Amino acid sequence: MNASSPAPTIRREVDNEGVCLLIFDRPDSGANVFDSAALRDLGAQLDFIEQEQPSLKGVIVTSAKKSIFIAGADLQTLLQKAQTGEMRDFIAKGQRIFNRLASLKIPTVAAIHGACAGGGYEITLACDYRIASDAPATRIGLPETTLGLVPAWGGATRLPRVIGPEKATEVILKGKLYSAQDALQLGLVDEVVSQEKLLETAKKKFNSPKRVPSEGRAPASAADGVRRDESARSASQNPAPARAAEIINRSLTSSIDESLARELDAIVELGETESTRNLIRNFFLAERYRKGTTKAPVEKITHAAVIGAGVMGSGIAQWLSSRGVSVILRDISPEVLDRGLANIEKTYGEAVKRGLMSDEKGKEGRSRIVASVNSGPLRDVQIVIEAASEKFEIKQAIFRDLDSKIDDTDILATNTSAISISDLATGTKHPQRVIGLHFFNPASRMKLIEVVIGKETSEETKARALAFARQIGKLPVVVRDSPGFLVNRVLFPYLLDAAELFEQGVDSKKIDGALLEWGMPMGPLRLIDEIGLDITIDIAATLEKSLGSRAHPPAILKRMQEAKMLGRKSGSGFYTYEGKEQTPNGAIDTWRLSRNPAKQWESSDLALRLVYLMVNEAARCLEEKVVAAPEDADYGMILGTGFAPSRGGPLRFADHFGIAEMARAGDRHGGKFVPCELLRRHAENGTKFYERD
C-alpha cells in the first residue's frame, strides 16, 4: 500500500510496510501548536487510521519542523476561549481526540525532535512509546502550571501512571522543560537516539506489544507520598500547582475518565481567573520584547569592550562572551581586574555544573575575554559599555576619555542605574551615539535591559542597541532618560516606605511576610539587604532630588550604614545572615522610633499600601512618557524586580483592583501617597490603563 494525504497542519504518509507517519507541519510557521484547526486535522487523520487499522503496522507521530516537535496548545486560542466561555468545549474535544489515539489497537510511537511542551508532550503520553532525539533543541516537559493552568489533555492523568505520582508531581509543579537525557532519567521518554536514527528506532518499537494503561483503583497509599509543599507555593496567587497536585494525588485511585474530568474542571475554572490570564499575557509580552518590531537588518556586534571589572562589569563581560561576543575587559586596578576574572570563572563554572552549557562551551566563552589595564585606543570594537563606580564625576571622565579612543560609529553605552544619560553625553563630541544599557544583577540570570534614550541619542543608536540586546538574549524595554529610569524609580518609594514602616515599629517579618503572601518573590526589607544598604542610600539620594519625599530615606538606613550593617554582603542588615539562614536583626531595634506601631496592620492592608506606591509611580512614568505604554511599565517591573507575575504588573493590577478605590486611598493618606494626575484622571473618568481588554 502506498498512500499520501496532505492536511493543513498534519501530513500523513503510509509506506508499503503499513507504517503510518503523522507528520505535524503547520504551514507558514516554524512551530507546531494545537489550535482548533490542528485538533480538527488530527481527528480527521484518526478517522482514516481507525478505518484502516487492519492493514497498518503502527503509527508514528513526528514533526517536520527544524527545532520544534509540538509547542503545546496555542495560547492565543486558550486565552480567547477562556474569555468567550468556550474553554470547556475546546479542552474536552482535545481529550476525546487524544483518547482515540490512546485506544488504537495498533502500536503508536512518538518520535520527538525539538521542543515538546504541554499538549505537545501530552499527545506523546497517549502513544505507547516515546523516542527522543539527543539534539540540544529537544526539550520536554509540562509547563502549564507556570502559566496558571494544569495539563488537561491527559498530562496530570497519564504521567503518574507512567513515572509514578511523586515524579509526576515534580515535573508538573516545577513546569520545567528537560533535556532529552534528563527526560530519559525521569522516565518521560523510553529511549534517546540521534536525530538520524529517530524514525528507524521508532519503527522497531512496532515489534513490542502495546502498553496497557493502568485504569486505577490502586490503594490510596500509592498517591499519599506526593509532596504538597510546592503546590502551596503562592497558592493564593497561582492556584494551578495546588489543583494539579490534587489531580495527581487522586489519579491512581480513579479511572482515566474520572481523572480527565478533574483536569477539565480545573483548567476551565483556572482560565476564568485574573491570575491565569495575566500569566498568559506575560508570555506574549516576553515574545513581543524578544522579537521586537523592527524588520530592518542591523549589524551583528561581535567585538565589545567593558570598562570597569567590578561585580556588574565582570558580569556583563561574562554574559557577552557566553553569547559569542569577544570582549576587552578593562580596569585601572589590577586587583579589581583579578577579582572580576575570578567572578567570571565562578559564573562559568556554575553554569557548567548546572548543565546550562558544556565544559567546552565554557572554555570557548572564557577565551573570548581579554583583560587589560591599558588605557589606550579601542579601535576594533563596535560597542563600549561603561560599568564603573556609580559616581557622575567618574563616569563623565571615562566618557570624555573614551570619546577620543573609539571610532565615530561605535556605540558608547553606560550601565548606570540612575545617572542621567543626557548629562553624560554633554561631555562628548558625539552625543548621538551615547545610550544607557542598564543590565540587572546578576547579569547572567536577569533578562531585562533598560535601554535608556538620552536627549540627543539618535534613532540609529537606539535601533542598534535594541538589536544588540536581543542578540545577546536579553529582553529590552525602552525608557526615556529620567532619574531612576523605570525600575529603580518605581521600586524605591516601595522599598523606602517599607523601611519607614519598620522604623515606626512594624515587625520586619510582618512587612516581608505580607508582600510574600501578596505574591512578591522577596519581601522589601530582604530586598534592601540584597541590594545593600549603601547602594540603597546612594540611589535614594539621587532620586530624592527629583522625587522629593517619595524617595526620602528614613534615618534608620543611615544609622545602619554607619554601623556597617550593609545587608547580606556584610552579614547583617534588617536580618542577620548565616549561610542560607536569616533571622531578624535585633541589634537595630534601638534605632526604631517605636516597637509598637500606632496601627495594627492587616497583611492585606500592609501589602496594598506598599504596592500602591509602585502603582502611583508607574502611572507617573507613563504620564511623563518615561515609558511609551503601560505594557513597558508592567513588564519592566515584572522582569526587573519580580513584581508578582500573576498580578500582571502594577498598572494591570490597578485596573483589576479598581483605580478609583486606589486614588481615594492615596488622597486619604496624603503626602507622598497623593495620586498622580493620570491616576486621578482614570479614577474620575472610570477609564483604565488597558482599555482594549
Q: Which residues of 649-685 are buried (b: 16+ CB within 10 A; e: fewer)?
A: bbbbbbbbbebeebbebbeeeeebbebbebbbebbee
Bridge-based pairing of strands 475-480 and 575-578 is: unpaired
Measured CA to CA in angstroms, residue 281 lies from 75, 104, 172, 544 at distances of 9, 37, 21, 34
**For residues 385, 389, 395 and 399, what is the CA-based torsion angle, rounded to 10 degrees?**
-30
Provide the residue type at 347 as one letter. T
Backbone φ and ψ for 304, nearest 5 degrees, come out as -140, 165
**Separation CA 25–CA 21 (nearest Å):** 12
Residue 335, C-beta contacts closer than 8 angstroms, at least 6 positions apart: none
- Cα 693 from chain centroid (whole Å): 23
DSSP-assigned letter for residue 686: T
Candidates 118, 30, 36, 43; CA nearest to 77 is 36
- Residue 662 and residue 675 in contact, taking contact as beta carbons nearer than 8 Å: yes
Single out the catalytic residue among 113, 303, 438, 669.
438
- Residue 526 and residue 575 in contact, taking contact as beta carbons nearer than 8 Å: yes
- Residue 656 and residue 611 in contact, taking contact as beta carbons nearer than 8 Å: no
- Residue 145 and residue 280 in contact, taking contact as beta carbons nearer than 8 Å: no
Q: Long-range contacts of range 102-106, CB-CB < 8 Å, 24 or more positions apart?
A: 102/126, 102/127, 102/154, 102/158, 102/213, 104/46, 104/49, 104/50, 104/53, 104/59, 105/53, 105/210, 106/49, 106/53, 106/56, 106/57, 106/58, 106/59, 106/210
Candidates 152, 161, 150; CA nearest to 242 is 150
Provide the residue type at 425 as one letter. A
Residue 29, C-beta contacts closer than 8 angstroms, at least 6 positions apart: none
656 is annotated as an active-site residue = no
Q: Which residues of 345-383 are buried (b: 16+ CB within 10 A; e: fewer)?
A: eebbeebbeeeeeeeeebeebbebbebeeeeeebeebbb
**Separation CA 366–CA 361 (nearest Å):** 9
Candidates 461, 457, 388, 390; CA nearest to 428 is 457
Query: 283 by DSSP, 3-state: which?
Result: helix
Q: Helices 650-657 and 630-641: crossing angle, nearest 10°?
A: 110
Provide the residue type at 198 as one letter. L
Bridge-based pairing of strands 303-307 and 191-193 is: unpaired
DSSP-assigned letter for residue 245: H
- Residue 366 and residue 287 in contact, taking contact as beta carbons nearer than 8 Å: no
Among all residues, which ones are annotated catalytic?
438
